[in-house]
Amino acid sequence: MSGTNGSVAVARPDNEYELLCDDAQQFLRRYTTEDGVPVTTDTELDGTTAYVPTGVVHRCEGAAAANPVIDSTVQRQTGAGPVTIAAGARSVTVNVYAGAPTLAIGGGTAVALPAGTSLTWSVDRGGDTGETLQDAFVFTGAAGHDFIVTSTREI
């Protein structure tokens, strides 16, 4: 019996996908080659529904997320009065120097913080897929209390 040995290659498209973001949402961009020409196709995250990007297209974890603009606050409270940090901060820190001011998180029960207390709450990612602290923090001092509150917030 005689014959030819070998293999047969079937041309298949090579699809590459990238998760991108625009001004509205995340979407998928498919890169492929058709007849030697590069082609891109944008779809919703299901990979089939056509999508037309809105505004500037960028990598979701790219430059836009890597260098967010951060606003910082610091307030020292001596005596009676509140310091409120609205929900959505990236970090909140309190240092108590004298007295025992109270702290209520997200409208919960207020808890006394004795002198010497130092507490911090924070998240580590910002940008397009950013994390924030979901609750408001309300620190309340009375006569003789001395404390300082700092916060950061992505703007």
For 74-111, write each residue's pLDDT tens digit. 999 999 999 999 999 999 999 999 999 999 999 999 99
How far is the C-alpha of 28 from the C-alpha of 21, rounded, in Å? 9
For 9-34, write each residue's pLDDT tens digit. 555 556 788 888 888 888 998 888 88
Place of tokens 């967010």: 68
User: What is the structure's pLDDT at 65?
Assistant: 45
User: What is the structure's pLDDT at 45?
Assistant: 85
| CA angle in degrees (0–180, nearest 5) for 8-11-13 | 155
For residue 133, the one-letter residue type is L
How far is the C-alpha of 145 from the C-alpha of 102, rounded, in Å? 10
For the entire predicted model, the pTM comes to: 0.58
